[in-house]
Chain A
């Protein structure tokens, strides 16, 4: 059997777990029957709840507003970024931009060329939204347009946002962007219809940012940036499962990974409790910024193209 098929079986099995968890938390009887059939035979139609509603077959069914605000029950999405593996190729930014139809003036995951001091080595620093557990952005929102879900994701409802941009001022990581002009979304973006879980079609005068690909996670798929990272620098998973997975399908225990590799969160002292962990850029696998053979940052590349 091919490794790929093997993985897919795993996905279905895990999907079954998700269905079971969803069912239990909703108190539905069907879930136990579904789980009882065994993990290998699970189908996504077993439980009428959340999983079915997010299946993207042809046209995707939208999660209800209650589901969007609550998140996927029983989950605590988490990301790990291995700074030692990142080579600054900018693929994450590109893949993200493509899948979210992002206009050229913004990046949801931005690549920084960091250097703490002149005596220390520079390194690449991809920065998505940190989906903080104590988010400064949702605190200040006057209308609850940006909100924190039980599965850890921080989203924005552009049908409620009044465009005051207080959240942009409050985010210490500059992770948020604004629709300064009326949007020019391509046809597929318009056709899908709006949900805060994917953030398009856009609306002028509203704020947007990285959404952790909430719709993908709901389906048991990795975010676009993670699956698009050829360097396997990005890992994504569920803290409640104590596991993160990279683009090659390697799955490791989150707690052990962070312990062994001395994981940290960016600017822990701010108390925002990010849901994105970094692994230090020790023993880098490729050239650091500025070294011979190193990549250039995305924005730099874009500027040079112009």
Chain B
């Protein structure tokens, strides 16, 4: 195929819209506007307009978040992995895939904001952000992924820009649009230097975006996996979500290919072979996902933990959750596998049908991961007469419809502004094909690039391992010092035996005089009260001993005075005093009635002292200060990734300056 023919075909997608296209855009805008109204209602009346309540506190919005983040993995798989492995057939697909990534990420991230009770306080994440929270991990990795995929999408579009500028000028489009394309082209020309810089930038991006993408969905899964909930607290959640994301992303790219092929008549470029190659990948992923789902459900079922079983009974039961679960299992997994399994029956129709089913199924699956677990609590809500139900409200459905519409709208607009198939790569594809007809291809520059992959990947894996391990070691060393003070009974015995007793003023009406001291009798610590009247000991009087605590008086016992006027009870061994080790004792005369008087209070030192709380808050998972291991790991990972982005930007700058020299 001639270069000019390819350009003509692919740039035709940018022609002014026909009536059908305008209707499509108008329809999407209407749905988005409806969603905006719904969101306004939600902002005014609060999240009460959803069906989320205190038990099921996450619902459709979180489902959408996980779903769109999952879809965003289309770009990574198709584009980056195929680019790194230099699979030639990827070329007409990459641009579409990369655009899906960027758009789905934007929509997914906005779903979290819609789910927030206080979107007005979004900046608190930057002001007060805690790096122990998986939400911060999410924020950081999604931001990094979004920036990276934006850069990646752009770098791969640069060679098309000069052509787009020319095309726009020839078609008499607005000069502003021409300038826009020219600016984005960075002065790119078909020269060996430009090619080299572009290849270097693209190679670096394709490598770095893979671990970043994996981290994003791993971290999304950890929002659930790091809690102690049945069905969430699972060690396979990271890979389970990553596979699920690539699975749904691949299905999304096939669906998008089908739609663009129809809408823009791209049958010559998006050929059945592309669908069939992707179908093989999709089949592998669907089997892999079935395997992960089986591992997850079988182990929890076989283990038989009561709360896990309550969840499984809900999932496999006869209620609406059970119905959704079985519909997903049949139509979201087994039917697509059946449609894709036999090469002889694998038609374009069956591939696209399977993809659409998988997309819907994966949304349902995310819903089934989130909602039933929230309905299954350790202390069953039913035991308080509460039925933790959830069914998406109208507002939630409208906002969800708006999210889907916005996704389609952005995608359509993107395809109106830039050719949805990469022109330069399609040309390259055609040229390669022509060359193959002549002779076998030599080693491509891509082969050299790949060598950098293992080193970077291994480094990232090590760091990721450290990230996982660090919190536990840090946390185990630092728990708030709880002082079971009473446990150290007798440690101080004898240190302050017979501490001097302070005798308070006795009311004038009273004639009894009480002295209290702590003594050691036959090796036992005793509290001894001596009762005298006018200096004479009183025998046979009943004396009650007690000690003051914050919220009440703790009785220590009663005793009758002997002939020498003394009554005694055992000293409360190990009872902590105040910060100076003082205990405030009270002695009360209970009989004879003539001597009954106000309690006499005496402070005796030498008791246990409670351990002082640490001067500063410890670094721990639960505290306000993050363990250094977490902060260090995140900082290091970010540095690796952003340094690579920086490297790419340096290549682009060099490209821009080349132009000046030329």
Contact = CB atoms under 8 A, between A and B. Distances in A.
Q: Do A and B come from one complex?
A: yes
Interface of A: 1, 6-7, 9-11, 13-14, 16-18, 20-21, 24-25, 35, 38-40, 69, 73-74, 76, 105-106, 110-115, 125, 127, 133-136, 138-145, 147-148, 150-152, 160-166, 168-170, 172-174, 176-182, 203-207, 220-222, 236-245, 249-256, 266-267, 270, 272-273, 297-300, 303
Interface stretch (B270-278, B381-389, B631-639): B381-389
A111 B385 CA distance: 10
Contacts, number: 301
A163 B118 contact: yes
A139 to B, nearest CB: 5
Interface stretch (B53-61, B73-81, B491-499, B563-571): B53-61
A237 B552 CA distance: 9
B381 to A, nearest CB: 7
Interface of B: 45-48, 50, 52-55, 57-58, 112, 115-119, 121-122, 124-125, 127-130, 132-136, 139, 223-224, 226-229, 374, 377-381, 383-386, 475, 479-480, 482-487, 502, 504, 548-555, 572, 574-576, 578-580, 582, 584, 586, 588, 598-599, 601, 603, 610-614, 617, 621-624
A10 B130 contact: no
A138 B622 contact: yes
Contacts of B554: 243, 251-253
Nearest to A289: B383
Contacts of B483: 76, 239-240
Most buried by B among A105, A144, A297: A144
Nearest to A136: B228
Given A138-B623, A142-B129, A142-B130, A242 B575 contact: yes
A237 B226 contact: no
A10 B548 contact: yes
B45 A113 contact: no
Nearest to A252: B554
A165 B574 CA distance: 43
B54 A141 contact: no
Contacts of B548: 10, 13-14, 17, 39
Contacts of B228: 136, 170, 172, 270, 272
A256 B486 contact: yes
Contacts of B57: 165, 168-169, 178
Contact of B48 (A40, A147, A181): A181
A147 B624 contact: yes
Given A40-B601, A140-B226, A240-B576, A251 B549 contact: yes
Contacts of B227: 136, 140, 169-170, 172
Contacts of B480: 133, 148, 150, 152
B579 A74 contact: yes
Contacts of A176: 54
B622 A180 contact: no
Contact of B117 (A24, A150, A151, A178): A178
A298 B384 contact: yes
